[in-house]
Amino acid sequence: MKKLKVLALALMCAVFSPSKADEGMWLLQLMQEQNLADRMKAQGLKMDIADIYNPDKLTLKDAVGIFGGGCTGEIISPNGLILTNHHCGYDAIQQHSSVEHDYLTDGFWAKNYEEELPTPGLKFRFVERIIDVTDRVNEDIRKGKIEEAASFGAPYMKKVADETLKKSDLKKAPGISAMALPFYEGNRFYVFFIKTYTDVRMVAAPPSSLGKFGGETDNWMWPRHTCDFSMFRIYADKDGNPADYSKDNVPLQVKKFLPISLKGLQEGDYAMIMGFPGSTSRYLTESEVKLRMDAVNTPRIQVREARQNVLSKEMAASDKVRIQYASKYAGSSNYWKNSIGMNKAIVDNKVLETKAEQEERFLNFAKAKQHADYQGVVQQINDYVARVMPLQTQSTYFSEVFRGIEFESAHKAFADLKEALQKNKKKDIEKAIETLKERFAEVHNKDYDHEVDRKVATVLLPLYAEKVPAEALPDFYQTIKEKFNGDYNAYIKALYENTIFANEKNFNDFIANPTVEAIDNDLMVQYSAAKAKTAKALADKLDEARGDINLLHKTYVRGLCEMYAPTPKAPDANFTIRLTYGNVKSYDPKDGVHYKYYTTLKGVMEKEDPNNPEFVVPAKLKELYQTKNYGRYALPNGEMPTCFLTTNDITGGNSGSPVMNGNGELIGCAFDGNWESLSGDINFDNNLQRCIAVDIRYVLFIVEKFGGCKNLIDEMNIIE
């Protein structure tokens, strides 16, 4: 198609542009086309770009993968050893923890394979192959096999992925699946073949006093002193193929792993990161940035803060609750603080003004080209924002509140049981009851506390009523008003004590004698059904209001790429493998303040506060500090490095990504961005944007000297 050819030209003309800042989460498969090698070498890359990614041979790409559901991990030994962040492994660490074996507090160190812990549900995924299917999609659109607006959609993308895999030599390979996604807002399409390993075992994790040192106070901040790492291992069958857990599985003998450099780093040194950034929105208009601020970030901040206040109080009062809710609290608070920082940075960094200037320039560009679609597209996007603003605000409040309250009943399963009872079908009754048993166990799982959740509901249900129009409230709010005289506490008490799913006794009494009347009168069944009804109605309204927004974005991004040519533009992040390059660099956040590019263990001791759980320092670490027992991991001046800064472009999903030097050797593990540039997902700031990484020397020091795992050090390829 002509329009796609224009975009391709804009993407390929980079060779003529001057070496510029470090913005860009670049697609590996476009590095040659976009002539990135010269730009990377100008900043310090020493290795051949073909050794970073080449579809015909093993490269750095083959040592990096998706850890769990939303992080990056890298392979650091020939025996399938994975390095990722502590906060990425936090779910697994919490899963294995109990009051008796509190790995969150004490850490975990496996001294041999036998001590490594199987972790059900944890997966590690490699990108096996990347295929350009843009021509195929455009041909389907041209022939009328798919409407252009539907070409972005999951059903069509799944069809493309499935058909591409079916025609591939990998179609019967163990553990291989395919995923198709649009890029550049639907101007390009790629299929990714993914190899998934399902036997991943926990190997090492520092105590949270190290892995989460600084807690929420230091989150997104610099200077940082957090030893944010954990280690896991991939196991496979005897032939190296993916296999579910078995005692007969063996450590995966990988074809590619990252060497580790202890040579240190200096300001200006080259740094590159490969990983799976989750989501950016660099092509938003000014009005869409306001939509993000007011309809997404603000509601999220308000609801999560209310819930976290409840959880923090309950976690402080009980070790059992602390362990149960540790991962939930960490996940919630991370993007609570991110949303606060993003809204502040958008204002401080004048993002709205920058977007407005870009739109003015784009309009002038469109007029000069006499391109009618380009001239009108921004106003059409603004019209879309006006339509969806109130609905998106309501949707965010809804999702935040009702994800924050965990207790619910399986109203669909109850509906099936009700129908079976009415028809007196014994087999259907038994089947429905078995489903209800499964759903009850899912609600009352080991990481759920009924009383804690009740307290959360007591705060969030009234908050939701305050924030959305009365006509948008689920039907159960009418029940609160009419049957409980508006008394939320009375309603919630009945909900959490008297309903079928409230406790094991109530549930067992019901399944011993299930009746239609009991189902119809159950407050929690009514609550869950009303919630689902409201969710569907809201989703339908949003879908209608969004209209052809995907096509508008496709047009706008195509036009922007043309306007900025020959400078290349990277597509927004979508949790596919990307490369970013930059340099080790300090920064000046405000007048009179300078932040150097690295921190040391001295800063940990300076921050120590035994009365603040976020800043407790383990006695063993203090002993190592006092004796300066750092081994080969110390700086030339004898200090122990902890964290460092680079200008790499990262976002959520990059957590755990390898930070590599110009030779492709591991120098650190990325774990955060800096507070001053939290608007970076929307608008990259060349002066302020920084990636925070834990220095690999600090990681190895903790593994060897603190954890006593010389066995792990011995299996790595360490370059001094």
Degrees, nearest 5: CA angle 106-63-225: 40
CA atoms within 13 A on the CB side of 390: 5
CA distances from 421 to 362, 418, 502, 525 (A): 64, 5, 22, 16
Q: Which of 86, 87, 411, 553 is catalytic?
A: 87
What is the rounded CA–CA span in Å between residue 569 and residue 475? 48
Is 96 annotated in the active site? no
Query: Which burial class, exposed, middle or buried, applies to 664 when counting CB atoms under 10 A from its CB (0-12, 13-18, 19+)?
Result: buried
Length of the chain, in residues = 720
Q: Is the dihedral of CA 674, 677, 678, 683 positive or negative?
A: negative
- Residues 6 or more apart whose CB falls under 8 angstroms from that of 486 comprise 480
Report residue 615 as tokens: 């800043």
Residue 460 buriedness (CB in 10 A; 0-12 / 13-18 / 19+): buried
The catalytic position among 91, 199, 218, 228 is: 228
What is the greatest pairwise CA distance in the chain? 81
- Please confirm, yes or no, whether 228 is among the known catalytic residues: yes
Alpha helices, H only, 97-213: 103-106, 134-142, 154-166, 208-211
Q: Which amino acid makes up residue 707?
A: G
Task: Give the CA dihedral 418, 419, 420, 421, nearest 10 degrees.
Answer: 50
Element (H, E) at 580: strand 578-583
Contact between 537 and 543 (Cβ < 8 Å) = no
Buried b (16+ CB within 10 A) or exposed e, 1-15: eeebebbbebbbbbe
Q: How many angstroms separate the CA atoms of 59 and 660, rounded?
A: 14
Cβ 219 vs Cβ 330: under 8 Å: no
CA distance 575 to 28: 13
The CB-side HSE value for 594 (13 A sphere, CA atoms) comes to: 3
3-state helix vs strand vs coil in the chain, percent to 5: 50, 15, 35
Whether the CB-CB separation of 189 and 1 falls below 8 Å is answered with no
Distance of alpha carbon 618 from alpha carbon 640, whole angstroms: 16
The count of C-alpha atoms lying within 13 angstroms of the C-alpha of 339, restricted to the half-sphere facing its C-beta, is 23
d(CA 523, CA 474): 13
- Catalytic one of 230, 655, 657, 677: 655
Active-site residue flag, 655: yes
Cβ within 8 Å of residue 475, ≥6 positions away: 526, 530, 533, 534
Instruction: Please give the positions annotated as active site.
Output: 87, 228, 655
